[in-house]
Structure 1
């Protein structure tokens, strides 16, 4: 049985790897480390299909170390001890390089087992993870390793691999390929920076191609679109990519960029993440537009309610309205800052007695020589306002709210300055 195309054309040298120029271009730190021949313990962090496994294989080959691959989802402590037990073999004369994929699935005890072998140099560890290693990898391992971040591969880099893949398949097959214009570019741009996905799409597009009367296989652009249309939008809702996407969505609205905001909305909806969109949209309306345009809050709430009621795909219409409105609206975080300052005082224990005139008093005991609540009803005074103390003594005079510099808040500011004299 033939191995997958991605394995058959896996790069054999550093220069054949597509992408990761920030790590592997001549003169870059990781490349210099590899070329030195002395490999420290490494942690490769980044999305799937960007060359982490491939690079580990190349490092093992260049350093003549025995490569052992384990996966954190299935490996056990016994597997690690078995690797160490094989250190005396002839094939491990130059040492063992343990490539531990998905290390985030190893629990703390399993990761601690690695330490004794890292300490004495029995094995060289290259661990890979798709999640932030500073959250998921045991600190003692991180302190003995160097972390390198891998990035999604740019489409122009993926295109090189796609064109090579079509050439290899044509050489392997008995039928010439006729590739419609735009097919390689479609696969390269729709794989979401995952070279492995691109290789799978190439292989499937050839396998599903029709054999023409002339004896060729015609690879059609329409077929390539059908095979790749969903590959770039799937993501783990518990992973870093999810939180990065949500963060970019909210920051684009806050930054008043409607184009970026609606783009990230489209990516989230393509992944079916309607709840996260609705939550962040409501938060942004309240936190970032706020008192600069307070009417936006019920407007966005209505759009969110409509979206949840009608569901996808139509939900994208009221959500697009709301997202663009939030992005182009004037901004003020004065309410956010006010509640943050007040909360800080409350958490610091500034919980003074509520002023007597604000208490819910209906009678006084006989022991109180100064009977009465002394509350002044603002509507009984000119301009519906009268000066009296509302804050407890411990925080009396504290300013939590500062007027925003937008038209709405400045209008209220001017009104109250006039009313309060």
Structure 2
């Protein structure tokens, strides 16, 4: 058997087929990446737009605003459950066909949300709409990486995820405004139309590649037996949670602690979106140059900007600028996506999809811990301390991953 190349030796968990990219690939046109990016834009808009329309939805459905908030949790639960389930069930599908099917389900779920006559039916619709989320991002990342040379994989994945970060800056405000003018249900009609448009664009622009005949649900499940897969998911689930601990409570923090006028809140939210877009693009470029140093560096940066928030939170415009910096923590996303491709061996689809389950767990963990410290009387700025500790927790898992790799290399030699 031929000796593995140097990168495989440095990372024994990485299989021979870990990357879909080929060194012989020429740079792909932008149209396939644009099609995939439209899907991520639609998913990002659909996930977050409900947050700005909760009072309208609560009134129409005859429930309280806290009950309406459970619609957000239902979607997140759908993401966590649906990502591994659909990745395993779709293992034998050609990836273009799987992407089309996922976006068709997403579109149908949003139309069902717009038509839901009751709270219960709306809960079911949001749960099912979340199912395609993680699998779509995972498969889209794999397809994007396969379309470009190996040294540009992270940038291709970053372009797909750019749709998600742009949604927070453009899609969500527009859909929320339309929902306010025409009724909250119209926002879900718009998102459903984006899903249908994505299915059409993927069919038209993404090259068809036959399914891997060796693929199977059992092979995908083999990813769960790889230590480096779990450690990478742990970095995302813990280290990424700090961003959400701060952002989940940013409005009351700015209003009550920083005494910012209510008119300034949209500016703060826009700054967060700008930070996400910048972080996504910068993180993707850095990951293509040095993958694991980028992961570690972003975690250190995240710890610093979240720790700084504890000092700036009481000063309106310093806090606003700090929120922009907190948004750049999303730079971790493309790097971890590529890392999972490298350590998943033959179980590419499941590992890639689980990345977004990990990010949703980070969302839930960060918001929950931030809420606990506020409820305990530590003040609004305490979310920054929570974020700092979560980023440091991510660094501990990162160090564990690196040490585990170093210990295994001599054994494999």
Please state which band the TM-score falls in when normalised by the shorter chain.
Answer: under 0.3
Decide which structure has greater helix share: 2
With the length of structure 2 as denominator, give the TM-score of the two structures.
0.20
The structure number with the bigger radius of gyration is 1
Decide which structure has greater strand share: 1
Higher relative contact order (CA 8 A, sep 6+): 2
